[in-house]
Amino acid sequence: MKIQHDTPIVVIPAYQEERSVGDLVRSLRERYPYDVLVVNDGSTDRTSESAREAGAIVLDLPCNLGIGGAVQTAFLYARDHGYDAVVRIDGDGQHEVEDIPKVLEPILAGRADAVIGSRFLGETEYRVSIPRIFGIRFFRLLVNLTTGYRVTDPTSGFFAINRSLIEFYSHHYPSDYPEVDAFILMHRLKSRAVEVPVRMYDRAEGKSSITAFRAVYYMVKVTLSYLINRIRRFG
């Protein structure tokens, strides 16, 4: 039952986002012909119901896998259902829905395998805290030194990928904090990655998954798995 889908699919990983995910899905459905897929990462609130009522395809994970495992489930779905382009956005309203076509355009035109939405390109009103800007600068340096990509926003969760990366990521995708790691995977695959400017906002609902206490763990873990992914073999 492999169907070819010409429309892109918008993927939203959601954990306890009942207050924002419904409106987000509705505004996507009103605006675009894209399919909308919400991966409910083991939420205990009404995330799944409100996404479904708003017209999304919903995948309910039986337990919380973390962001990487949830997004990978979406890649598995996209692979099995023959989608050629996936856009991933956050479920909390941080990413500007209007910028989705801009992120998709280089994929649909065949000019890139991955497009990363950067909040630091072009005009930006995004306010970044001091520890966060330190972290972003660190990862920017790490990615730029080791891959040759010129990335301004390596932790951006607003991106689009094409069929080749959908297939690869459905086998290999980092379990938590996957965005930085993804660059080394793309580098290993010699993928063409480009950045486009997007707008991002402060979170409407909920808190960032990265608290101050976990920031150090985040840096160490990501750096370690990044460096290991550089020397790992992918069978």
Partner 1 sequence: MNRVTIFSICASAGFLLYILEMVRRRKLREEYSILWLAGSVVILVLSIKQDWLVGIAHAAGIAYPPSFLFLVGILFILLILIHFSIAISKLHMMNKKMAQEIALMKNDISARGEDFPKHS
Residue ranges in contact with partner 1 by CB under 8 A: 39, 57-63, 65, 69, 72-73, 76-77, 80, 175
Buried b (16+ CB within 10 A) or exposed e, 63-79: eebbbbbbbbbbbbbbb
Report in angstroms how near the CB of residue 12 gets to partner 1 at its nearest.
Answer: 14
- Give 36 or 61: the residue with its C-beta nearer to partner 1: 61
Distance CA 118, CA 99 (A): 11
Strands (E), 110-210: 114-118, 159-162, 193-197
Sheet holding 9-14: strands in order across? 57-60, 35-40, 9-14, 85-88, 159-162, 114-118, 193-197
| Min dist. Cβ of residue 232 to partner 1 (A) | 14
Tell the residue number behind the tokens 């805290």, with chain if given. Answer: 129
Rounded to a whole number of angstroms, the minimum distance from the CB of residue 130 to partner 1 is 34
Closest CB 51 distance from partner 1, rounded Å: 12
Nearest to partner 1 of 147, 170 (CB atom): 170
Q: By C-beta, is 102 or 221 nearer to partner 1?
A: 221
Residue 59 CB, nearest distance to partner 1 (Å)? 4
Give percent helix, percent strand, percent coil of the chain, each to the nearest 5. Answer: 45, 15, 40
Q: In the complex, what is the shortest distance from the CB of residue 61 to partner 1, in angstroms, rounded to a whole number?
A: 5
Question: In terms of CB distance, is 77 or 139 closer to partner 1?
Answer: 77
Three state DSSP letters for 102-115: HHHHHHHCCCCCEE
Amino acid letter, residue 111: R
Output 143 or 165, the one with its CB closest to partner 1. 165
* Distance from C-alpha of 73 to C-alpha of 41, rounded to nearest angstrom: 10
**C-alpha torsion sign, points 82, 86, 90, 95:** negative
Q: Which is nearer to partner 1, 76 or 219 (CB)?
A: 76
Q: How far is CA 132 from the centre of its chain?
A: 18
Smallest distance from partner 1 to CB 106, Å: 28
Q: Which CB sits closer to partner 1, 59 or 136?
A: 59
